[in-house]
Chain A
Amino acid sequence: MKTTKSALLVGVGGQGAILTAKVLVSGLMKAGYDVKMSEVHGMSQRGGSVSTQVHWGEKVYSPVIGKGAADIVVAFEKMEAVRYADYLKPDGVAVINDYEMASSSIAAGLCQYPEGCLEAMENHFRCHVLKAGEIAQGLGSAKCMNIILFGSMVKALGMDDIDWESVIAETVPEKFRELNLSAYRAGRDAVSA
C-alpha cells in the first residue's frame, strides 16, 4: 500500500491532458503495475478546468486521491497548478507549463488572472517549469505539447525503468510518431533531474 504513487494532471478542457495520462497508463501496464485512472467529464462546453488522476503500484484500490496525496502534479496551465497545489504532498514535485489562459470570467472582466503563480509554486515545491507550447511550435506542431510535458514528468519522477519511447511509438498514430518521439526527448531535456 505504501508503495503506490499518484499523479494528478490538470489543465483546461481541450489541452490534451487525457492523452498524456493514457500514455502514462500504457507504460505502467506494460511494466506490470496495477493501475487506476480517474477523470471527470460530462460537460461538453470547452474551457472548464479539468483533471485526471493516475494511481499505480503493486496493488491499487482507490482511483482518486484527496488533498496532500499526489506525488506529482503536471499542470498544463499555470493557474491550474495553483488551483491543485493542496493536492500535492509537501515533498511532491510539480511540472508546470508556463502558459496563461484566461477563464471566461477573466475575459469578461469580472476578475483578474492571479499574479505570481509560478513564484508561489516554486517557493513551496520542487518545480520544473517549461514553455511547452513554444517548444512544440519549434518542433513544428502545437499538438505535441502534451507529450513534451509527459517527457518532463517522466524525468521528474525518475521513472527510467520503462521504455517510454516504445510506449509512445505504440500509442500515437504512425504519421505523428517521429514528432512525438522528438517531443518526448525535448520534454526530458527541458528539466534537470
Chain B
Amino acid sequence: MERYLLSGNEALARGAYEAGVKVCSAYPGTPSTEIFENLPQYRDALYCEWAPNEKVATEVAYGASIAGVRSLCAMKHVGVNVAADPIFTAAYNGVSGGFVIISADDPSMHSSQNEQDNRHYARAAKLPMVEPSDSQECLDFMRAAYEISERFDLPVLLRTTTRVSHSKGLVRFGEREERPVPAYARNTRKYISSPANAMMNHPKVEEALAALEAYGCTSPLNRMELNGTKIGVVTASIAYQYAKEAFPADASFLKLGLTNPLPMKLIREFAAKVDKLYVIEELDGFMEEQIKAAGIDCVGKDLTGKIYELNPQLLQERIFGRKPETVDVGVSAVSRPPALCPGCPHRGFFYTMSRHKDFVIAGDIGCYTLGGSAPLNALDSVVCMGGGFTVAMGMARAFELAGQTDKKVFGVMGDSTFFHSGMTGAAEIVYNHGNVIPVVLDNSITGMTGHQDNPGSGRTLQGDIAETLKIEDILAAYGYKNILIVDPQDLAAMEKAVQDALASTEPAAIIARRPCLLIKRIKHDIGKCEVDQDKCIGCKKCLSVGCPAVMVENKKAKIDPNQCVGCTVCAQVCPKSAIARKEN
C-alpha cells in the first residue's frame, strides 16, 4: 500500500477528514497552523474556518458537536488558555457528535512566549488525552479520538508538540467514514450548564474517567514492547522516539497513546516485569508524578530535567552519562536574530516611537514584537495576545497615581490581534477614561504565523470573499472620537498622527495602515533605493531604522539591492539626502 511523506499536521488534517468530521474552526498559532491550512483541500466533505480567536473556535466546534456532527478545533498551547472557559464546561456537558480539541505545544519555545505543558489541562478539565508520537499516529489517533469522544461522552484533547506537528514521516491512508447525522432533539438537561445540571454532570464525568482508565489498560493505544527485564521505559509522544534510540536494544517499553487518565493498572503490571523503571517525558513530570503517587518506584525528571526539548543524544548523556563526541572548531557564529523584513510596514511606526524617550509602549504578540529589538528598542512590555491595550491601561493608571505625569502611554497591537482579543481592551480604555493611545498596526493579515486571513482581510480560510470588518468603524462605535488613519511608511505623517493623538482632548486612537509586503494577492509598489556615495557622510543614521538591507562599510552606507524593496524609510531619515529611490 502506498505511503506518503506527511508532517504530523498534514496527517492530523487527513485523520479528521477520514473520521468524517464536518465542522472545523481554529485560530492560527505555531506549531498548529498547518493543520487547518491543510483542511480546505477537503472542502467538498467538510467546512473549515479561521475564527477570530481560540475561544470562538472552540465554541463553534462545540456547537456543531451539540448539533450532532463530528467537529474539530485546533490551537497552539497558549490558545488553550484563551479557550479554557468553554473547554472546562464542555467536559461536564459531554458531546453529541465527537469533539476533538488539538493543543500543539512548543517545548523549547521555537516560536512562543512560554513552554507551558498542556497535559495538565487534560487533568484539570477532566478530558481524555491522546498523544501521537509520529505522523502515522497523528492520523490514527485522530480517528481513535472521535471513537473515544462518542463512546465516553467527553471532548478529547489531542496533544502534539512542535516535533510531532512539524516532522515528516511515512503515512498510510484510510477511507473517509461518512457518518449519518442524527435528527436534532433539544436536550436541556445535558446542554444547559445551570448549577443544578452541573451538579448532576460532575459525577457522570468522574464515572466516565474511571471507565476510561479501565479502557486504557486494554486499548491498543497503549502497548507494551517487551524485550529484556532489566530496564523498563514508560513514555509517550515524541519522547518515545527519542527513548527508542537512546536506550539499549534490550530495554522494554510501555508506549502510551492515551495519557489521561493514565492506565495505572497496566503501568503497575509493566513495572512488575522490569528491575528498573524509567519515565521519559518532555517538560513536566506529568506521568512520573502520578506514577509515583500510585506507589510505583521510578526515575525520570531527576535525570532528564523539565526544561526545553529532549533528543536521543541528550537522553543518552543525561541517563547513561555518555556525552556525545563533538568538535569545537574554534570560531563562533554570531546570532542571526529575526528582524522586521525590508519594507515591513511596521518599521516606520517603531522608528517614530523610538525617537521619543518619554513614551511608554505596551506591545503585543505579532511580527511587531520585533519593534522591541535593537536598534528600534521601542517596546516596554509584551505579555499575551490582546494584552497591549490593557497592560498600557494599567501602567497609565499607575503612573497617574504615582504622580509620574511626564509619561505618555501607548498600547500597540496588530489587526489580527485586535480582532482576537484587543477589542475588549479598546472598550476598557474609553469606558474607564484611560490615559492611553491605542494603536492598531493594520497590515491586513495575520503576518507572524504565515499570512492567514482574518476578519479584516476580506477572505476566509476556504478562499471565499468575506465582509472586510473596518477597525475604524469598530473604534468609532466604542466612542473614539479622534481616529487617525496613517501610512506608517510616511514618517512625517506618522509623527504628526502621534502628536495629534496626544494633543486630543477626546478619546483618540491611531490606525497605522499598510499591507504586509509578503501578501501575495496584493500588487506591491516595489523599487530599489541606492546610496549616493558622494553625498553620504557615514553618519550611520540610516542604521537606526533597523532594516537588514542597510549597512555601513568603510564609512559609507550601502544598500543590498537583493533585499531592498524601496520603501524609502531609510531615505527619510538620512540628514544628507544621500539615499534615493531609483525609478525603473
A contact residues vs B (CB 8 Å cutoff): 1, 12, 25-26, 29, 34-49, 61-69, 79-80, 82-83, 85-90, 102-117, 120-121, 123-125
Is B328's CB within 8 Å of the partner chain A?
yes
- Which residue in chain A gives the minimum CB-CB distance to B33? A42
CA distance A89 to B325 in the complex (A): 7
Q: Which residues of A contact B170 (CB under 8 A)?
A: 29, 34-35
CA distance A125 to B330 in the complex (A): 13
Count chain B residues whose beta carbon lies closer than 8 angstroms to a beta carbon of A: 66
Q: Which residues of A contact B330 (CB under 8 A)?
A: 120, 123
A44–B331 touching, CB < 8 Å: no
CA distance A29 to B163 in the complex (A): 20
Q: Which residues of A contact B110 (CB under 8 A)?
A: 40, 42
- Known A-B contacts A12-B336, A114-B332; the reply to A69 vs B312 at CB < 8 A is yes
B339–A104 touching, CB < 8 Å: yes
A44–B447 touching, CB < 8 Å: yes
Q: Which of B33, B241, B339 contacts A63, CB < 8 Å?
A: B241
Q: Which residues of A contact B374 (CB under 8 A)?
A: 105, 108, 110
Q: Which residues of A contact B168 (CB under 8 A)?
A: 25, 35-38, 63
Select the stretch in B43-51, B468-476, B543-551 that faces chain A: B543-551
Is B304's CB within 8 Å of the partner chain A?
no
Is B40's CB within 8 Å of the partner chain A?
no
Is B367's CB within 8 Å of the partner chain A?
yes
B69 to chain A, nearest CB (A): 31
Q: Which residues of A contact B338 (CB under 8 A)?
A: 43, 45, 47-48, 104
CA distance A120 to B329 in the complex (A): 5
CA distance A86 to B314 in the complex (A): 13
- Known A-B contacts A104-B339, A105-B335, A109-B551; the reply to A63 vs B169 at CB < 8 A is yes
A44–B337 touching, CB < 8 Å: no
- Selected A-B contacts with CB under 8 Å, 27 pairs: A29-B170, A35-B169, A37-B169, A43-B338, A44-B450, A45-B338, A45-B341, A46-B342, A47-B339, A47-B548, A63-B169, A64-B167, A64-B311, A67-B324, A82-B331, A82-B332, A85-B327, A85-B328, A103-B336, A103-B548, A105-B337, A106-B334, A107-B549, A107-B551, A111-B335, A115-B331, A123-B330
B325–A105 touching, CB < 8 Å: no
- Known A-B contacts A44-B448, A46-B341, A125-B327; the reply to A29 vs B5 at CB < 8 A is yes
Is B333's CB within 8 Å of the partner chain A?
yes
Q: Which residues of A contact B540 (CB under 8 A)?
A: 109
Is B30's CB within 8 Å of the partner chain A?
yes
B184 to chain A, nearest CB (A): 39
B30 to chain A, nearest CB (A): 3
B97 to chain A, nearest CB (A): 31
- Which residue in chain A gives the minimum CB-CB distance to B447? A44
- Which residue in chain A gives the minimum CB-CB distance to B451? A44
- CB-contacts of B533-554 with A (<8 A): 540, 543, 546-552
- Known A-B contacts A49-B336, A62-B244, A104-B548; the reply to A36 vs B324 at CB < 8 A is no
Is B22's CB within 8 Å of the partner chain A?
no
A111–B334 touching, CB < 8 Å: yes
Q: Which 5 A-B pairs have the closest CB atoms?
A: A66-B313, A68-B324, A42-B30, A63-B167, A83-B333
CA distance A175 to B5 in the complex (A): 25
Q: Which residues of A contact B546 (CB under 8 A)?
A: 104, 108
Q: Which of A45, A64, A105 contacts B370, CB < 8 Å?
A: A45
| Most A C-beta atoms less than 10 A away, residue of B163, B238, B327 | B327
B336–A90 touching, CB < 8 Å: no
- Known A-B contacts A66-B312, A105-B374; the reply to A79 vs B325 at CB < 8 A is no
Q: Which residues of A contact B244 (CB under 8 A)?
A: 61-62
CA distance A1 to B327 in the complex (A): 23
Q: Which of B312, B336, B552 contacts A65, CB < 8 Å?
A: B312
A178 to chain B, nearest CB (A): 25
Q: Which residues of A contact B337 (CB under 8 A)?
A: 48, 103-105
CA distance A162 to B326 in the complex (A): 30
- CB-contacts of B418-452 with A (<8 A): 447-451
CA distance A8 to B201 in the complex (A): 52
- Known A-B contacts A44-B448, A45-B339; the reply to A62 vs B312 at CB < 8 A is yes
Is B214's CB within 8 Å of the partner chain A?
no
| B 334-369 to A, binary, CB cutoff 8 A, 1 in contact else 0 | 111111111010000000000000000000000100
CA distance A111 to B448 in the complex (A): 26
A82 to chain B, nearest CB (A): 5
Q: Which of A42, A48, A61, A125 contacts B449, CB < 8 Å?
A: A42
A132 to chain B, nearest CB (A): 16
A102 to chain B, nearest CB (A): 6
- Which residue in chain B gives the minimum CB-CB distance to A112? B334
CA distance A23 to B309 in the complex (A): 28
CA distance A49 to B335 in the complex (A): 8
CA distance A107 to B163 in the complex (A): 32
- Which residue in chain B gives the minimum CB-CB distance to A42? B30
B367–A45 touching, CB < 8 Å: yes
Q: Which residues of A contact B549 (CB under 8 A)?
A: 107
Q: Which residues of B contact A90 (CB under 8 A)?
A: 325-327
B334–A114 touching, CB < 8 Å: yes
- Which residue in chain A gives the minimum CB-CB distance to B135? A36
- Which residue in chain B gives the minimum CB-CB distance to A106? B334
Q: Which residues of B contact A89 (CB under 8 A)?
A: 325
CA distance A26 to B170 in the complex (A): 11
A187 to chain B, nearest CB (A): 22
CA distance A149 to B342 in the complex (A): 27
Q: Which residues of B contact A109 (CB under 8 A)?
A: 540, 543, 551-552
A39–B332 touching, CB < 8 Å: no
CA distance A103 to B334 in the complex (A): 8
Q: Which residues of B contact A110 (CB under 8 A)?
A: 374-375
Q: Which residues of B contact A61 (CB under 8 A)?
A: 240-242, 244-245, 312
A18 to chain B, nearest CB (A): 11
Q: Which of A26, A67, A103, A105 contacts B313, CB < 8 Å?
A: A67
Is B518's CB within 8 Å of the partner chain A?
yes
B450–A103 touching, CB < 8 Å: no
Q: Which residues of B contact A104 (CB under 8 A)?
A: 336-339, 546, 548
- Which residue in chain B gives the minimum CB-CB distance to A38? B167
Q: Which residues of A contact B237 (CB under 8 A)?
A: none
CA distance A90 to B552 in the complex (A): 38
A120 to chain B, nearest CB (A): 4
B349 to chain A, nearest CB (A): 16
Is B166's CB within 8 Å of the partner chain A?
yes
Q: Which of A26, A34, A42, A68 contacts B325, CB < 8 Å?
A: A68
- Known A-B contacts A42-B110, A86-B328, A108-B543; the reply to A35 vs B333 at CB < 8 A is no
CA distance A192 to B411 in the complex (A): 59
- Which residue in chain A gives the minimum CB-CB distance to B448? A44
Q: Which residues of A contact B375 (CB under 8 A)?
A: 108, 110
- Which residue in chain B gives the minimum CB-CB distance to A36? B169
A73 to chain B, nearest CB (A): 11
**Given pairs A25-B168, A47-B548, A63-B169, 12 additional interface contacts (CB within 8 A):** A29-B3, A35-B168, A42-B449, A62-B242, A62-B311, A63-B134, A63-B163, A63-B238, A87-B326, A104-B548, A107-B547, A107-B551
